[in-house]
């Protein structure tokens, strides 16, 4: 079957789809033709690089297939980003609009492409997030963390702020200054924990050491950070030395469950997502063990909306499954109610919950824009495939937070004891 016959059938179907769906984007095909034919060369479009793309999507019409094709640069967004693509979605329900597309035109594409020759999508290098990756063992946790965080410190520098803070920023007003927003986030964490000189602070999943260094510098605490990411630890140690904080900051390369001692305050900022739901009891028991009576714990984590039943909640949408498989192996998101119940179940009193969804929408959008602006450097550092994967991940996260599919909350609790909590009666001190 000639390639021209296939192209003719595909052009016919795409032209009809463009009309029926009212698409605000065009298509460019591997022979150089465009659909619609008059679509401008500088207009937003989707590039289909070879006939095997169509064949692969017909044989296995799943998000996974599309992801592999995009990361392999066989299907690409032209003259725009995934944000532009999202904004160009048809008005109305796509399924209902698609009913008007000729079945004959669709069948013609199927019969001409289903057996089309071409290379199958190449597997993206990943550590699969399967049952083994969630067993909670220290060695497994370390491997999972290494997959995401030990990519390259130089790569992360291309899109993070100068402090290398890789968690949700906090925008005290409408601005796009990432460094300012991350500093304001660190300050808010310290205020919520009511840090004071002499406090012993533990930061679980301390990353590149931004919080422990900030807390030691500005609040005079004895700060301890624990991480499983070796590349992060090296940079954090250099930062501690450069700031002259060796007598105030101690960094530990170990699983948090292996930490010993008692701490006045504990923070967990964007680490809980890696734990896995089946390992929640171990996690909260460890935090309770490490926290002094009436000590404060700040629980900062991403979550999903609760469903009518836990069984329905535990079903993983395709986008969520892809995120776990390729970006955060071993990770799982709970819902806010589950976190609150577990905190109370394992010996904590909940004092305050604050939603930061729109803060993370803006944070991930800024990360995307910075990485995209440094795309050539990123590709030189980690390769074009991983760079495309990360751009897709950051944009997808931003859209998920914008639409409310993903949520994030900061929950302040104390280790439960009878009597006064010792906290102020209002939140006024947080916004002084």
Give the catalytic positions in this structure: 397
CB 213 within 8 A of CB 222: no
Q: How do strand 249-253 and strand 263-269 relate by DSSP bridges? A: unpaired
- C-alpha–C-alpha distance, residues 70 and 59, integer Å: 16
Token output for 343? 């905190």
Element spanning 161, H or E? none
CB 218 within 8 A of CB 190: yes
* C-alpha R_g of the chain: 24
Phi, psi (rounded to 5 degrees) for 277: -60, -40
Strand, helix or coil at 228? coil
CB 34 within 8 A of CB 27: yes
Token output for 308? 């009518």
**Which residue is it, tokens 């199958």?**
120
CB atoms < 10 A from the CB of 302, how many?
Answer: 23
Phi, psi (rounded to 5 degrees) for 220: 65, 30
82: which residues sit within 8 A by CB, 6+ positions away? Answer: 391, 392, 395, 396, 399
Q: How far is CA 233 from CA 26, 139, 190, 297, 377, in A?
A: 46, 17, 22, 23, 23
Strand, helix or coil at 350? strand
Phi, psi (rounded to 5 degrees) for 262: -130, 145
**Alpha helices (runs of H) in 165-247, residue ranges in sequence order:** 178-192, 210-219, 230-242
Q: Supply the DSSP symbol for 415.
A: E
CB atoms < 10 A from the CB of 348, how many?
Answer: 24
Strand, helix or coil at 359? helix
Q: How far is CA 46 from CA 32, 35, 43, 59, 88, in A?
A: 12, 10, 10, 20, 12
- C-alpha–C-alpha distance, residues 31 and 10, integer Å: 12
């Amino acid at each position: 079957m000639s390639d021209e016959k296939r192209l003719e059938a595909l052009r016919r179907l795409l032209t009809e789809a463009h009309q029926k769906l009212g698409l605000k984007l065009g298509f460019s095909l591997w022979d150089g033709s465009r659909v619609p034919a008059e679509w401008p060369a500088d207009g937003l479009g989707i590039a289909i690089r070879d006939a095997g793309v169509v064949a692969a999507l017909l044989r296995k019409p799943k998000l996974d297939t599309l992801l592999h094709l995009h990361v392999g640069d066989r299907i690409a967004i032209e003259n725009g980003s995934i944000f532009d693509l999202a904004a160009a979605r048809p008005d109305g329900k796509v399924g209902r609009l698609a009913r008007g597309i000729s079945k004959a035109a669709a069948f013609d594409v199927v019969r001409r492409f289903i057996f089309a020759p071409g290379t199958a999508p190449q597997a993206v290098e990943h550590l699969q997030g399967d049952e083994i990756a969630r067993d909670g063992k220290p060695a497994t946790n370390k491997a999972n963390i290494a997959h995401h965080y030990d990519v390259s410190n130089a790569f992360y520098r291309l899109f993070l702020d100068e402090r290398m803070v890789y968690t949700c920023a906090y925008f005290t007003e409408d601005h796009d200054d990432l460094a300012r927003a991350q500093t304001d986030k660190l300050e808010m964490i310290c205020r919520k924990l009511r840090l004071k000189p002499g406090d012993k602070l533990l930061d679980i999943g301390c990353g590149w050491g931004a919080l422990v260094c900030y807390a030691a510098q500005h609040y005079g605490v004895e700060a301890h950070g624990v991480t499983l990411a070796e590349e992060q630890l090296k940079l954090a140690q250099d930062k501690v030395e450069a700031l002259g904080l060796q007598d105030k900051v101690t960094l530990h390369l170990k699983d948090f469950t292996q930490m010993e001692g008692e701490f006045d305050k504990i923070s967990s900022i964007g680490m809980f997502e890696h734990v896995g739901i089946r390992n929640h009891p171990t996690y909260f028991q460890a935090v309770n063990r490490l926290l002094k009576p009436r000590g404060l714990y700040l629980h900062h984590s991403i979550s999903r909306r609760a469903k009518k039943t836990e069984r329905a909640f535990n079903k993983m949408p395709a986008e969520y499954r892809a995120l776990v498989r390729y970006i955060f192996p071993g990770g799982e998101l709970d819902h806010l109610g589950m976190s609150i119940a577990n905190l109370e179940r394992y010996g904590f009193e909940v004092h305050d919950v604050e939603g930061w969804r729109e803060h993370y929408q803006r944070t991930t959008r800024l990360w995307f824009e910075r990485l995209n602006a440094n795309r050539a450097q990123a590709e030189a550092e980690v390769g074009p495939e991983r760079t495309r994967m990360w751009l897709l991940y950051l944009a997808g996260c931003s859209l998920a937070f914008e639409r409310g599919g993903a949520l994030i909350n900061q929950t302040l609790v104390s280790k439960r004891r009878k009597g006064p909590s010792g906290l102020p009666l209002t939140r006024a001190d947080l916004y002084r």
